Amino acid sequence: MASADSISQPLDFMKWHGAGNDFVMIDSRGRDAVVTRELAAKLGDRNRGVGFDQLAEIRSSDAADIDLDFWNADGSRAGACGNATRCVAQFVMDTTGKDALTIRTARGILQARADGDQVAVNMGQPQMDWDQVPLASDVDTAHLPLDGDPVAVGMGNPHCVFFVNDAEAVDVASIGPRIEHDPLFPEATNVEFAEVRGRDEIRMRVWERGTGITLACGSGACATAVAAHQRGLTDKRVRMELDGGWLTLDWREDGVWMTGPTAFVFKGQLTQEFLKGL
């Protein structure tokens, strides 16, 4: 992998939002990958860089229409990012005229397609075994041995879903980081707080691993829909209200489909001065 300082040009990027999830996108198709942990952490810091929930780097693929890698704001890698996948799919569909795509992520090859003015992506089947999430020990993923009786679900990244009576009343900023780093999660975890409003509607708030409070989390929305259905609280198709917008989740035979809005916000260029030494 090339490092950013081997780039002799300023680096183009775009800012996108997916249901309020905030992304920077770098298109590295046709060249070596440029994103390193250091670049992601500097760019993810809104004082030193631009700020984002996740950074997505698009790369040429020999197995799908594109390859896609994700980083969190602290420079760590995210194995899955549903809302960024939808935003990247929108960008690639807009620029190629296609209305469906295959996207290879660390998780495998995902399908994405246009759905009216929204974008849908199949996030694959949930991982319900303790070692797949992953958890540190062989416990029941449907009832974790933690206060609040949460559910663990993997969607290519770990999630810990709490069911609460009032999502607005949860102190996400203090509970989130405690659960994120609980020893039960050897790779840390994303943390969701879900209030079931009916068989087809959930209100959800999230603390993201490696980033903190965000206005939405696509893989977290998938994990929450799966956990709620598994608990017998909802049907397989639900609408979910997040701080930044609404998503529709549909757990089908071929995986969990997530549909929602995307928005292109602006494009910019990282200067060589910014990239120096990274």
Ligand X SMILES: N[C@H](CCC[C@H](N)C(=O)O)C(=O)O
For the CB of residue 216, give the shortest distance to ligand X in the complex, in Å. Answer: 7
Q: Which residues participate in catalysis according to the annotation?
A: 81, 217
Other Cβ atoms less than 10 A from the Cβ of 250: the count is: 17
C-alpha dist (Å) from residue 158 to 130, 152, 265: 10, 7, 29
* Residue with smaller CB distance to ligand X, 5 or 264: 264
The answer to whether the CB of 23 falls within 8 A of the CB of 87 is yes
132 marked as binding residue: no
Q: Which amino acid is at 6?
A: S
205 marked as binding residue: no
For the CB of residue 73, give the shortest distance to ligand X in the complex, in Å. Answer: 9
Half-sphere exposure of 225 (CA within 13 A, CB side): 31
122 marked as binding residue: no
* Residue with smaller CB distance to ligand X, 256 or 275: 256
> What contacts 208, CB < 8 A, 6 or more positions away?
53, 72, 190, 214, 217, 220
For the CB of residue 7, give the shortest distance to ligand X in the complex, in Å. Answer: 26
For the CB of residue 82, give the shortest distance to ligand X in the complex, in Å. Answer: 4
190 marked as binding residue: yes
Strands 151-154 and 158-163: antiparallel
* Residue with smaller CB distance to ligand X, 49 or 260: 260
Residues of this chain that bind ligand X (CB under 6 A):
21, 53-54, 72, 78, 80-83, 157, 190, 208-211, 217-219
Cis peptide bond N-terminal to 134, omega within 30: yes
User: Binding site for substrate, residues?
Assistant: 21, 54, 72, 82-83, 157, 190, 208-209, 218-219
User: Binding site, residues?
Assistant: 21, 54, 72, 82-83, 157, 190, 208-209, 218-219
